[in-house]
Structure 1
Amino acid sequence: MFILSSDTKIHSELDTKPIQLAIQRFYRDLELTLNKTREMNVTTGDIYLKHSSNVQEEAYMIDINHDTITIQASDSLGYIYALNELSYTFLGIQPFWFWNDQVLQQVPYIEIETSTMESTPAAYRYRGWFVNDEVLINHWTLNGSTEEPWVMVMEALLRLGGNMVIPGTDHNSKKYSELATDMGLWITHHHAEPLGADMFLRVYPDLNPSFDEHPNLFRALWEQGVQKQADKKVIWNIGFRGQGDRPFWLDDERYETDESRGRLIASIMEEQRTIVRKSVDNPVFCTNLYGEMVDLYQKGYLTIPEDTIKIWGDNGYGKMVARRQHAIDSRTEALPAEDKKHDSHGVYYHASFYDLQAASHMTMLPNSLTIVRDELVHARERGVNDFLIVNCSNVKPHVYVLQAIAEIWSNGDLDHSTYPERYVSAYYEGEHRGIAELYRKYADCAPRYGKHADEGCGDQFYNYSTRQFVSQWLKSDTLSPVQGMNWACDEDNFAKQIQWYAGKCREALENYRRMLSKTADVRNEITAKVLLDDSIGLQYQMYADFAEGGLALCEAYTHYEQQDYMNAFYQLGRAKEAYESAHQSMIDREHGKWRGFYQNDCLTDVKQTAYWLGILMGVVRNIGDGPHFFMWQREVLYAPEDKKVILITNFENHLTNEELYEAMKKKHSNI
């Protein structure tokens, strides 16, 4: 037997920064899982890292003998994956050990039988995460460090077998590119930032961002971007999109036809390829067929070199069709044609999405793993197997889905029928007791906002829809339909839209309350209560609160239509309270290292929903109780025989909206 203990040492023939960091992580894994004891009557073995040109790129061979473990690899990632494999197989360190607060049991040492372990090639050549919409991670610190959260993001990615990252959005992608390189990862770029260069309007805020007007300024930015990254492993994203992640022709009237747009993008791509080749040997290129780019390419107006990886995108909800643009949802298939399947293709897939409509940002994808598996496997059958990048957002809310997708990028498939049990067994101290069923039923609870299976209502649905209704109500326009809701609801007036929304919220509330009850039953039977509360339990609670808040808004409007302003005010208070409860549920899960994690929820922004419901409460109170604001107070607080005898208007200070609502709630509870 090889004896692995806290005294085990690693000896390396190579001394690159990625290998150094991997060795440090392995030593930390030993500290987490092995006791350091002085009375160990065993001989500890050591680990040797040896370079071998006979081992393929990113691969490894591990020979375990009675006194040594020898790892052979030809590059840094090979050694990183090998050390991660030892941690996983023998120390029990799971890929999301940090993010799921894995409970690790310490032992004095581990006996490992002699054997040989050899890696198998991943299904995708390039596979990784786009750390996008990272507003929680960006404002959260670990041990006082703003960088350490990013270290843990990239460590998890490496443990899942990933090799590529877009290390954040906009400023962050440049700020953390060095860290990504130090950890051994390939870097690629946001589709709005070709070659990872600075955005034109950031450098030249007073100029029109037109390539025709300022070609040399654009070229200079691309040159600078390449020079800054020439020493890194980069998959160079080429293309030309407008500033602010929108089509350039929206700001440049010169390009009115598909032909002219496609011609310009193709010519710019060739220029960008030339710029890269001047500084980089054998560069790898990619381009995103995203939004309008899909249409241009499929119509034949955009020519892309065969060796450039063409990255197809899902619609944000896991379906490989074109993304909905406002109310236009073509559902056009976003996959290569049969005669193009042998070109280089990749996919940009969303475990998290942000669209200001119905996507899931603070919670898991509300669609089944069956859809995820079927879509990605089908894409592979259509030739999409070179590149898979996943929008991982803030990681923690999405770990269940991210680990499932990582199985696909490693193996080419996912046994989704057994995945919930396997996941739960890995993180919940080996307990099942109904936990897996809570995960399995999650996607079934989400109402569909449309007729397709992938159109599940995520956390943005209950927040952006509610805020849209509140905003229009505040503008005193309750006759016209809310235009911002026409992507999901084709009713022609405000009241009918409210009725439609109430139906979705009522369905959701019934489903999530049922699952909250089951979650409570499961919780009583397990020891891993904290993890349950932090993960699936939190998400069920948030959705129940969202649905309750949305439904109370709709009930408030029904009273408002009937000029029953007092009850409308009360129902708005209930809505506000429900969203405040959802926000508080997140804050309550900020314990230990997670303190501050949810503070910057600024995209779904649950607290903002509650805030504007509070504003609407004041407006409704003004209509029904203004301008003197004492009649409702008398109605709620005074005895029946005193309510209408007004010799003095009020004997107490005027109640704030919140105080009045609390008094109403107390009265309702006593009825």
Structure 2
Amino acid sequence: MEYFTLNRDTKLINSDFPEKPVERAVRRFYRDMDMALLPGPRERAGGRIRLCRACLPPEQYRICPASGDELVIEASDELGVIYALIYISRAYLGILPFWFWNDQKIERKESALISQAVCESKEPPVRYRGWFINDEVLISAWDAGIDQDYPWEMVFEALLRCGGNLVIPGTDRNAKTYEKLASEMGLWITQHHAEPLGAEMFARAYPDRTPSYQEAPELFRGLWEEGILRQKNYKVIWNIGFRGQGDIPFWEQDPAYDTPQKRGELISRILKEQCALVRRHVENPVFCTNLYGETMELYQQGMIKLPEDVIMVWADNGYGKMVSRRQGNHNPRIPALPAAWQPGQRHGVYYHVSFYDLQAANHITMIPNSMEFVERELKSAYGRGIRCMWLINASNIKPHVYPLDFLAGLWNGENLTPQEHLRHYLAEYFPQCAGGAKGRDLLTAMASCFQDYHRAAVPFGVEEDEHAGEQFYNYVTRELSCCWIRDGGKAACRTLFWCTEEESLGRQVRWYRTLCEGCLPAFTRLWERCADLSGSGGRLWEDSILLQVKIHRCCLEGAVLFGEAFDKYEAGELMGAFFTLGRAADCYQEAAEAMEACSHGKWRGFYHNECLTDVKETAYLLRRVMSYVRILGDGPYFYGWQREVIYPPEDRRVVLLTNFENHMTDEALYQAMKKNGVPGI
């Protein structure tokens, strides 16, 4: 068999595709060659790769020989060319989809031999495949050591390398900032379900007006039309809908819509009007609408009439289960799947590997539910007709690389079980696992850690998906802390009725402590196993699963100590409660510091803006609770505890002078307790 030799001197010839996405793809391929290939002698021939337009289905490509020193890539559109170059880059240069996000160590070689056999792509089973870059507070405040736009370029590149073709390029202002870059890289664009047509939010455009469609329909129409005109030259799937100013239902701010009938009638009318506005400016537009949260409930009740030929985007509940999401304490768990009797409809899914609900979801750690669970839910959805669009909430990418890689395999039709995929993923990104008995043993040990991560997840409810991400140990602790201070612990925390039926704060805290205490050993053992592998796994291991397991372990331990502190408080042991709260705060601080310890090289500052789960805020709040407890037990003169902790026993009861030095701050007193001990503990 003859081969085409790819080396650093190979030239790409493009006369058929003047589009910017292809120009970018060509430059990216040259960069890949620079990363993977060594320079050769000047007299060496490099051959040519010619890009040719041909009659092929959209996004498909054919790679075939023209002669011994020329390879031809045929495609009908820009994405076909992009995917062909990505295929060569991965298959022959070894550039993996998450090379940037996983710090791939690329082994350079002098050349690569490409088979002269014709290679044709296959149509993926899902038409539109994409990510929603949502809750993107980490990548928004980080420049990867280059500039503010570079992380976003790396996001879009990884999506393309995963076979994706669609993106919501950020939330709110970020979406408007990066839609042009996403389009220039060849991606379709769609919009957040709270930002129909990508329009500016009414409350921002008209801060002095009530955001009521009933009062100002012409202003809403103007904003929608501005959004259409701004994006009309991009490839867009126009998201139509009407929610509220922010990720909340519009009727929370407009009480005129006080029945399901009124709400459904307005949404139906607006959907029809938005479609007409788009068609005024765009030829043959593609539409979608999100059946999400309360909108899905209205649709299931028959209150919403959708325009024809709209992609109906169903959504999981944020934890991977295809049921309606919990809203506060309201959790009806209505199935979020199309009925079998809906022929001719086009269906999509909005699925979370990262979720932010201020309750129990995951944002800086991986989805707590297993890939077996995720596969089962999505294959079931696919079987119910959800084949037109898969939109994955990918958040800040880096904490979620493993599940994103798994989902890319599903939307590309790869036939790997979750276990096979995991071993393949580890073998690719941890090359020390490749070959030999030692490598196989290491791969097995690493795979076991990933699998046990999901097995260790805290079950906060009885349903199969109700497993906690790191927000659980932070938001529940903060809710209980605020309730403790608000009325001295006399009333239950009503905002926690979604997870506990206990009706006093003390019983709620004990329920929480007992749950966390029971799950802490599993994460402690897993952390020890992951730590033992850090020498073999290297920085990537430390920056990924070891870090995430440590976040869970530290926050769990902090939650348990918080519960112990409240028990001491109720028993009147205020000095012990103060000290135990300090230990709890230290645990959360340790988790925050672990993230900072992974901020090295290009990742410097990546976790600096960790402001949604905000583990450091939990530590800060617990120290404020310490102050409250000290006021109760040591105030108003604040010398008693100081004497107990730092004075020798023979001097503690001799109070001729209350104190001989300045009053200690809470932190100084706590540090003294750590050094000298706490009387009675």
TM-score normalized with structure 2 length: 0.96
Q: Distance in 1 between matches of 2:534 and 2:42?
A: 40
Matches within 5 A, 1:437-476: 437-476=448-487
Is 1:484 aligned to residue 495 of structure 2? Answer: yes
Q: Distance in 2 between matches of 1:5 and 1:413?
A: 32
Runs of 4+ off more than 6 Å: none
Post-superposition shift, 1:633?
Answer: 1.9
Question: Aligned AA for 2:233?
Answer: D
| Residues 639-648 or 366-375, more deviating | 639-648
Contact in 1 for aligned 2:264/2:304 (Cα 8 Å) = yes
Contact in 2 for aligned 1:341/1:382 (Cα 8 Å) = no
Question: Aligned AA for 1:56?
Answer: P
For 2:21, the equivalent position in structure 1 comes to 18
Post-superposition shift, 1:37?
Answer: 2.9
Q: 1:22 to 1:226 in 2, by over 3 A?
A: same
Alignment deviations for residues 559-612 of structure 1 (CA, whole Å, 9 cap, x no partner): 111111111011000011011100000000000000000000110011111111
| Residues 115-124 or 244-253, more deviating | 244-253
For 1:593, the equivalent position in structure 2 comes to 602
SS at match of 2:68: coil
Post-superposition shift, 1:245?
Answer: 2.2
Matches within 5 A, 1:106-145: 106-145=108-147
SS at match of 1:417: helix
For 1:60, the equivalent position in structure 2 comes to 61
Q: Distance in 1 between matches of 2:497 and 2:258?
A: 27
Q: Distance in 1 between matches of 2:23 and 2:319?
A: 39
TM-score normalized with structure 1 length: 0.97
Q: Distance in 1 between matches of 2:513 and 2:28?
A: 51
Is 1:493 aligned to residue 504 of structure 2? Answer: yes
Question: Aligned AA for 2:467?
Answer: G
Gaps of 5+ in 1: none
Q: Distance in 2 between matches of 1:595 and 1:250?
A: 41
Is 1:43 aligned to residue 54 of structure 2? Answer: no
Q: 1:497 to 1:353 in 2, by over 3 A?
A: same
Contact in 1 for aligned 2:75/2:81 (Cα 8 Å) = yes
Contact in 2 for aligned 1:341/1:383 (Cα 8 Å) = no
Contact in 1 for aligned 2:4/2:70 (Cα 8 Å) = yes
For 1:333, the equivalent position in structure 2 comes to 335
| Residues 76-85 or 238-247, more deviating | 238-247
| Residues 108-117 or 605-614, more deviating | 108-117
Question: Aligned AA for 1:195?
Answer: L
Q: Distance in 2 between matches of 1:392 and 1:422?
A: 21
- Tell me which of 567, 572, 578 is aligned to 2:587: 578
Contact in 2 for aligned 1:433/1:522 (Cα 8 Å) = no
Matches within 5 A, 1:111-510: 111-411=113-413, 415-431=417-433, 432-510=443-521
Q: Distance in 2 between matches of 1:533 and 1:256?
A: 52
SS at match of 2:131: strand
- Tell me which of 98, 101, 106 is aligned to 1:99: 101
Post-superposition shift, 1:668?
Answer: 4.0
Q: Distance in 1 between matches of 2:10 and 2:678?
A: 65
Q: Distance in 2 between matches of 1:30 and 1:385?
A: 35
| Residues 406-415 or 111-120, more deviating | 406-415
Q: How many residues end up aligned between the 2 structures? A: 667
Alignment deviations for residues 106-126 of structure 1 (CA, whole Å, 9 cap, x no partner): 112222332221111111111
Q: Distance in 2 between matches of 1:622 and 1:67?
A: 82
Alignment deviations for residues 237-292 of structure 1 (CA, whole Å, 9 cap, x no partner): 11111222222222223323222221221111111111111111111000000111
Q: Distance in 2 between matches of 1:507 and 1:428?
A: 33
For 1:548, the equivalent position in structure 2 comes to 557
Is 1:4 aligned to residue 6 of structure 2? Answer: yes
SS at match of 1:479: coil
Is 1:30 aligned to residue 41 of structure 2? Answer: no
Q: Distance in 1 between matches of 2:628 and 2:265?
A: 54
| Residues 297-306 or 272-281, more deviating | 297-306
For 1:79, the equivalent position in structure 2 comes to 81
Contact in 2 for aligned 1:404/1:414 (Cα 8 Å) = no
SS at match of 2:431: coil
Q: Distance in 2 between matches of 1:521 and 1:162?
A: 36
Is 1:511 aligned to residue 514 of structure 2? Answer: no
- Tell me which of 616, 623, 628 is aligned to 2:632: 623
Contact in 2 for aligned 1:286/1:311 (Cα 8 Å) = yes
Post-superposition shift, 1:508?
Answer: 2.7
* RMSD over aligned Cα atoms: 1.6
Alignment deviations for residues 290-344 of structure 1 (CA, whole Å, 9 cap, x no partner): 1111111111111113310000000000000000111111111000111115410
SS at match of 2:369: coil
Question: Aligned AA for 1:536?
Answer: I
Post-superposition shift, 1:414?
Answer: 5.2
Gaps of 5+ in 2: 434-442
Question: Aligned AA for 1:356?
Answer: L
For 1:663, the equivalent position in structure 2 comes to 672
Q: Distance in 1 between matches of 2:353 and 2:531?
A: 27
Percentage identity across aligned positions?
A: 48
